[in-house]
Amino acid sequence: MTAAHRPGESPLRIPAPPMPPAIEAIFTTPPARASRTPEAPPVQAPAPVTITIDGIEVSVPSGVTILDAARAQGLDLPTLCYLENLAPVNVCRICVVEVTGSRVLVPACSRKVEAGMEIQTESERVRHSRKLVLEFLGSSVDLSLAGEREPDGDLARWAERYGADASRFGPPSEPAAAGVRDAHEPGHHHAPEGAEAAFATSIAQPVKVDNELYVRDYSKCILCYKCVEACGEDAQNTFAIAVAGRGFDARISTEWATPLPESACVYCGNCIGVCPTGALMFKSEHDMREAGTWDGSAQTVTETICPYCGVGCVLDLHVQDNTIVKVTSPMDSSVTEGHLCIKGRFGFEFTNERRRG
Ligand code: SF4
Ligand code: SF4
């Protein structure tokens, strides 16, 4: 990819995070691969198309998304529901950009580039839209851990960039009692009382702790669908969770809101691995946070191979005080792409018990 010209650095051209290998590969001509059959044609690099991003003409491979093209230019487009190893679902609307000739703002994460496309990634309309998305989320969801979570998630940075002020919607309403939001049915809304208008409607509710492996704190859920995708056909193909309800009552749920041990969940923890807000969390982490002993700055991460079978999944062991407190897998691992099974994800407690004697 080449930029035709680049006038002085704009303050919005913030150095983007390193490009994931999967995307970087699209922007470099792949080496000719050995074909399985002698007559198979060699793999061709996609033909380039010329587009304009923020007034700069660039040449990009056809078939890439606007997000890929923008990030390759060093642009720092915010995303919440997007993840390189999941299919885009276009639900958070924070990556939207303005495309000349398009009536509505378009999601950069899924819209493919077209020859001659004129794109604005930081127009007034784009910035206003992103600001409102961040304010609506901030007024109804507990985003206190969103800035800490990998792989994306620096909501505070984006809120500052777009001047989002969730407090202008008023203080949050009282938390719902356990199970109340789970019982809401589509179309059955209560008439609001006058006093409620003084409060921002909140999804606050008690944490669901119904098993020894992970907890679900849906007060922190931004409905990004990543867990649904990871539990479904993008990784695990278990389909234990989905979105129930409609509108403000929409929430992530097991079938009939049944507790996890009675659901189809197989405890792979792939939903935890992709959750950007801490709504899904290892019980070990949850308990340590409750006790005030969780200290991310005191933790080390050691890469190793899962000891349980011959697949060879890459594990990142997060260790604090000589104790494994959680296990993740790197998204750029060609073996796991960040996903694990129950043994690799949760089967570490025996090491802690042996150490304790
Ligand atoms: S742990 Fe695995 S099976 Fe269970 S809900 Fe999460 S992704 Fe689905
Ligand atoms: S639980 Fe986490 S991953 Fe699932 S929709 Fe909510 S924020 Fe997204």
Report the candidate in 135, 161, 133 with the shortest Cα–Cα distance to residue 76: 161
Give me the CATH number covering residue 19.
3.10.20.740
Per-residue pLDDT tens over the stretch 61-105:
999 999 999 999 999 999 999 999 999 999 999 999 999 999 999
In a shared domain, residues 140 and 118: no
Same domain, 48 and 155: no
From ligand 1's centre to the CA of 151, what distance in Å? 18
- Which atom belonging to ligand 1 lies closest to the Cα atom of 268? 2
Q: Nearest Cα to 131, choosing from 168, 164, 175? A: 164
- pLDDT for residue 107: 97
- Does some domain include residue 357? yes
pLDDT at residue 26 in the model? 45
**Span 138-181, pLDDT tens digits:** 999 999 888 776 545 578 889 999 999 999 998 888 899 999 88
What residue's CA is closest to ligand 2, atom 2? 275
Ligand 1 atom nearest to CA at 280: 6
Average pLDDT over residues 287-315: 96
**Token couple for 149:** 């979570």
| 69 and 164 share one domain | no
Instruction: Indicate which CATH number applies to the domain containing 342.
Output: 2.20.25.90
Residue 21, preceding peptide bond in cis (omega within 30° of 0): no
> Is the C-beta atom of 341 inside 6 A of ligand 1?
no
Question: 148 vs 49, 57, 67, 265, 330, CA distance in Å?
Answer: 37, 36, 23, 26, 16
What does DSSP say about strands 241-244 and 118-120: parallel, antiparallel, or unpaired?
Answer: unpaired
**Residue partners of 296: CB distance under 8 A and separation at least 6:** 148
Closest residue (by CA) to atom 4 of ligand 2? 227
Range of the domain at 346: 295-357
Q: Which tokens belong to 125?
A: 């309309």
pTM: 0.84
Average pLDDT over residues 213-222: 97
238 lines ligand 1 (CB under 6 A): yes
- In the reported structure, the alpha carbon of residue 216 is separated from the centroid of ligand 2 by a whole-number distance in angstroms of 9
Categorize the per-residue pLDDT at 41 as very low, low, confident or very high, splitting at 50, 70 and 90: low
Structural domain includes residue 225: no
> Do 97 and 139 reside in the same domain of the chain?
no
- The reply to whether 105 and 68 lie within a common domain is yes
CA 259 / ligand 1 centre spacing (Å): 12
pLDDT at residue 2 in the model: 37
Q: Model confidence at 125, in pLDDT bands (50, 70, 90)? A: very high
Confidence tier at 14 by pLDDT (50, 70, 90)? very low
The protein residue whose alpha carbon is closest to atom 2 in ligand 1 is 268
Instruction: Check whether residue 55 and residue 148 sit in a common domain.
Output: no
**To which H or E segment does residue 23 belong?**
helix 21-26
Ligand 2, atom nearest to 223 Cα? 5
Q: What's the pLDDT at 115? A: 97
pLDDT score, position 149: 63
- The predicted pLDDT at position 150 comes to 53
Q: What is the dihedral of CA 283, 288, 291, 295, to 10 degrees?
A: -150
